[in-house]
Chain A
Amino acid sequence: MLFSESFQMAITALMANKLRSLLTMLGIIIGVGAVIAMVSVGMGVRSNIQTSIASLGSNMLIISPGSSDRGGPRGAAGSMTTLKYDDAVAVKNKIKNIDYVSPTVSSSYQVVNGNQNWNTTVTGVTPEFMAIRSLEVSTGSFISKSDLDKRQRVAVLGSTVVENLFGTENPVSRNIRINNQPFKVIGVLDSKGQSSMGQDQDDVVYIPLTTAQERMQGITYVQSINVQVSDPEKMDQVQEEIEELIRQRHHIAAGKEDDFNVRNLTSIMETMNQTTAMITILLGSIAGISLVVGGIGIMNIMMVSVTERTREIGIRKALGATFFNIMTQFLIESVVIGVIGGLIGIVLGCGISKLIAQIGKFTTVITILPILVSFVFSVGIGLFFGIYPARKAAKLDPIEALRYE
């Protein structure tokens, strides 16, 4: 018997009980839909976190000062003043596989233009900062090496600051006051939007590191050093080398605690990825349970269907249907339920995912993998839960089946 014949029989049987077929499919529809929607939410969280970490720069090591512990109450992390600009220079010069090294200091100041004022974070940076954070200048230029050397009073503004101080005017070459000191605006940055943590990445002012240290804060130390490693494979090695070098420079004896920390953004990203992957799997598998429940629904209905159609099976067997013929007929029926249910579920799942994105203003990411997996799974469920009823049908004794009322 041809496959197309069995297929036609299955469709005829399903069409004969439209409502029942639809209700049976509903289990699969909801299951597949839920899997796709849930996984898209999980993937959305993941992509949010990834972009926010990537916006800090990739392959990044961050060196920050440790907490002060010279007796008495300990200071907060980063309160040590031992990390110097020279440490950054030494790291850059002595360690291989490093693209950029960028030391920074930052503090909050009142920034004034005419009668407009705005409170924001003012960060002292070196020219490398631009490359390390992948910043783009929309007008003007970024802080240069000579600005750094001459401790120039120049500033590069983020778009939020520009909006608040200048409105729609072009701020380049204009003068502003930061903490009552005059600064010349030399550039405006491209907007980077909000980070996934809800931080406005455009609410920033950048000035030369030396200017910030000496003219604004009157300090000699730096608050953090960002290091971009050229090869992600070398992250751990470079981290170790940096730790060793700075311990040496700070004359820290073996066994004593470091007065600085080196954090690896890639490892943070990996942890985050693992966490979001867990969340995604959790959401997906909870939704997957409804798929299995849907499969049991298929089995249930197929069992009823086999009992109801005992006589039909008897007739078919008397006319020469083999075990395989009957088995195929019923199996195709349950697989068709799985396939159609799966397809409707995919449409439903994508719809729900878009709806969540629309209403919740939340990024959802629909990828082909969960669609494929849940579809294959729903077909598999149709097949698996169809086997028992189909076998039961195919094993019926024709004499008994024909006698069945």
Chain B
Amino acid sequence: MATKEKHLTIRLQGIKKLYQIGDQEVAALNGITLDIHSGEFAALMGPSGSGKSTLMNILGCLDRPTMGSYQLDGQEVAHLSDDELAATRNKKIGFVFQNFNLLSRISALDNVALPLVYAGVGRKERMERAKYFLDAVGLGDRADHQPNELSGGQRQRVAIARALVNDPHIIMADEPTGNLDTKSTKEIMEIFEGMHAKGRTIILVTHEPEIAACASRQLLVRDGVITRDEGKGVVMDVV
């Protein structure tokens, strides 16, 4: 396999997503073609209604495109079944959401370990790996706390640890700092930059230009198409 293809994590070709509203067919995505290489830190921007959330859902394997091809790690995923998509999300994608989306009844450690439950990892290893990633985001001493006992920034760090725990190819972050104060925003972005530095592929959805500026590549979505693509192909050198 060619070296270039090996580094190609995401390849979208002619992705369209159509919704039926009454008699009318509305295109949320109208032909998106996009390559994202391994180790890229891409920011996805656009006004609301531009289709960036739809694109994010398709990239995150939460949704299927109406037409077009989506290759993730060389594997066609556009037409997988629900359960196959679930398995793909579990193995290859780590999610970080704006409102954290932690389970409120279980501890931070159990939250981090949750993807491993669905990956079929045994309890002992699960706890070890969850602890490792919780330590990595600086919350090792909060392992037994429930999410409502943690601050917003801490919750988002738990969510990041959860996104990393199954060692995914891509981290999808949907407005990860949208609900955070300036200080926490800075901390979280430092973590993302750190992950980027370690060679992880990150796709970040945001509408704040300062946040997008942290990324190595900026994509602007408007009316279902990518209208601007800056910094393409810039891959952080892995030292």
Contact = CB atoms under 8 A, between A and B. Distances in A.
B230 interface: no
B50 interface: no
Interface in B13-42: none
Interface in B80-139: 82-83, 86-87, 89-91, 95, 97, 101-103, 105-106, 114-115, 117-120
Contact of B105 (A16, A314, A320, A324): A16
Best-buried of B82, B89, B117, B166 by chain A (most CB within 10 Å): B117
A175 interface: no
A15 to B, nearest CB: 9
B90 A319 contact: yes
B57 A315 contact: no
Q: Which of B90, B91, B118 counts the most chain A CB atoms within 10 A?
A: B118
Interface string A382-405: 000000000000000011001000
Interface residues of A, number: 23
Interface in A1-50: 1-2, 5, 12-13, 16
Interface of A (DSSP majority class): helix
B63 interface: yes
B196 interface: no
Interface residues of B, number: 26
A320 B61 CA distance: 10
Interface in A300-331: 311-312, 314-325
Contacts of A5: 117
Given A12-B106, A402-B101, A319 B120 contact: no
Given A399-B62, A402-B97, A402-B101, A318 B89 contact: yes
Contacts of B169: none
Contacts of B101: 311, 314-315, 318, 402
B63 A319 contact: no
Contact of B87 (A13, A16, A320): A320
Contacts of A322: 82-83, 86-87, 118
A16 B86 CA distance: 27
Contact of A319 (B57, B82, B95): B95
B118 A399 contact: no
Given A1-B118, A12-B106, A319 B97 contact: no
A398 B62 contact: yes
A316 B118 CA distance: 9
A2 B87 CA distance: 16
Contacts of A13: 105
A320 B97 contact: no
B103 A320 contact: no
A321 B118 contact: yes
Nearest to A403: B53
A320 B120 contact: no
Contacts of A323: 82-83, 86
Contacts of B106: 12
Given A16-B105, A399-B62, A402-B97, A319 B83 contact: no
Contacts of A399: 57, 62-63
A319 B105 contact: no
A397 to B, nearest CB: 8
Contacts of B166: 320
A399 B61 CA distance: 10
Q: Which of A317, A323, A325 has the most CB of B within 10 A?
A: A317
Nearest to A314: B101
A321 B95 CA distance: 14
B162 interface: yes
A1 B62 contact: no
A320 B63 contact: no
Contact of B86 (A2, A12, A312, A320): A320
Contacts of A312: 103
Nearest to B90: A320
A217 B121 CA distance: 94
Nearest to A320: B90
Nearest to B53: A399
Contacts of B57: 399
A12 B115 contact: no
A67 to B, nearest CB: 81
Given A320-B86, A320-B87, A325-B118, A315 B103 contact: yes
Most buried by B among A1, A311, A322: A322
Contacts of A316: 114, 118
Given A12-B105, A312-B103, A319-B114, A324 B83 contact: yes
Of residues B86, B89, B90, which shows the largest number of chain A Cβ atoms within 10 Å of its Cβ? B86
Contacts of A317: 86
A402 B89 CA distance: 15
Nearest to A6: B117
Contacts of B87: 320, 322
A344 B93 CA distance: 45
Contacts of B91: 320
Given A12-B105, A312-B103, A323-B82, A318 B118 contact: no
A402 B101 CA distance: 8
B123 to A, nearest CB: 8
Given A320-B90, A398-B62, A399-B63, A1 B83 contact: no
Interface string B48-71: 000000000100101100000000
Given A318-B95, A321-B118, 14 more contacts: A1-B117, A2-B120, A16-B105, A314-B101, A318-B60, A319-B114, A320-B90, A320-B91, A320-B118, A322-B86, A322-B118, A323-B83, A402-B62, A402-B97
Closest 4 CB pairs of A and B: A320-B90, A320-B118, A322-B83, A319-B115
Interface of A: 1-2, 5, 12-13, 16, 311-312, 314-325, 398-399, 402
13 contacts: A1-B118, A5-B117, A12-B105, A312-B103, A314-B101, A318-B95, A320-B91, A320-B115, A320-B166, A398-B62, A399-B57, A399-B63, A402-B101
